[in-house]
Amino acid sequence: MSFRHNDDNSLTAKSICRYTKSLKHIPLSAQGRPQSVMRPEAHSNGQIGGVMQKNQLLYLSKAEVEAIGVTMAEIIESLKVTFRAKGEGRTEMPPKPGIHPGGGNNFIHAMPAYIADLKSAGIKWVAGFPENPNKNIPYITGLLIFNDVETGLPLAVMDCVWITAMRTGAATAVAASYLARPESSVVGMLGCGVQGRSNVEALKVLFPLKTVRAYDVNPDAVQQYAKDIRSQLDVEVVPAATPREAVSGCDIVVTAGPILRTPHATIKAGWLDEGTFASLVDYDSYWEPAAMAQVAKFCTDDTAQLQLYQQMGYFKNIPEIHADLGELASGQKPGRQSAEERTMTANLGLALNDMAVAPLLYQRAVEREIGTWLDL
């Protein structure tokens, strides 16, 4: 038996595809602004109304991206479409190359992807520097370039901090729709930063969440997290004094700390209850190998990318991979098959996820006249 969730309030796959089919070149006025919020068919000679137009791209700042109004439910549905397309061979995404300025756990990754079903292509250039919060700078920063799939021209450049946070939470929810028990109501959250918030927001779209047991090495972060989640999501938050209190007795466990090449292996064997689903947003940083070995199904969002990271020194001792999310979404591999089995996914963060969000943001920004048009 397979346990899955249906979200009646989210967009359907058909509406997502219909929504993105309209992405063509926006006609520009003589002042370089869109003539209308709807995009007509582009002319092959680059002319609109007999007047040659300049090629332009739309720039969206972090604040503008956040103000556009794309919802978590829409992002989750777009990711479902994307992972199904991935499983059926209608996406293109090379494993992300990276550089590591300053050494340690710093990284800057290039993340290109193409999703045929959504007519979405582009690349995200994203950095993660664990010491940034001590400098009052976000841990994750970067930009995303969204391209026209018919011409290759860049349509938009947008800040990717909000995108990264939201699509990462959405990917956990999509994985949980195949691997968690549908009645899951108690979430254990280890790491009360941006991902700790977005993952709970996403899970609440698909599950009847009532309680979050929250742990962080910084007690002040837990208190602020509890205040935010209670007010924004109407979910009770119980601060956990120890990591084990945020793991045992939960239906879903999410670890969302910094990504480390050498895990601190805080979570031990025997802590994860039978029937629990765990999402490893921070790779295997929180988990000792014996604890991971107790799961019946170990999954990931992309097998090839995980194997690349193994070559780089991550995931040195993990269970055999049961399936990636593309295989689960397309029905090639089963998800949860009993109420008792422990399940786990290590979601690495895919360029496909970013490109699933980009057309939603771009289309709505054009419709609402948000952002700044720049000449190419």
Catalytic residues, by residue number, are 124
Return the SS3 of 83. helix
Tokens of 177: 């729709």
Tell me, letter by letter, the H, E, C secondary structure of 311-331: HCCCCCCCCCEEEEHHHHHCC
Strand-pair partners of 375: 56
- Structure tokens belonging to residue 114: 């193409």
Strands 343-346 and 277-280: parallel
Burial class (CB in 10 A: 0-12, 13-18, 19+), 80: buried
Tokens of 140: 């994750």
State the virtual CA torsion across 206, 330, 327, 277 in degrees, nearest 10: 20
Largest Cα–Cα distance in the chain? 71
Q: Are 271 and 188 in contact (CB under 8 A)?
A: no
**Comparing C-alpha atoms, which of 323, 268, 270 is closest to residue 297?**
323
Reference 58, options 299, 272, 373, 376; nearest CA is: 373
Place of tokens 């710093």: 106
Q: How far apart are CA 265 and CA 19, in angstroms?
A: 44
Q: How many residues are listed for the chain in this entry?
A: 376
Distance CA 357, CA 45 (A): 30
Q: Buried b vs exposed e over 126-161: b needs ≥16 C-beta within 10 Å?
A: bbbbeeeeeeeebbbbbbbbbbbbeeeebbbbbbbb
Q: How far apart are CA 101 and CA 253, in angstroms?
A: 32
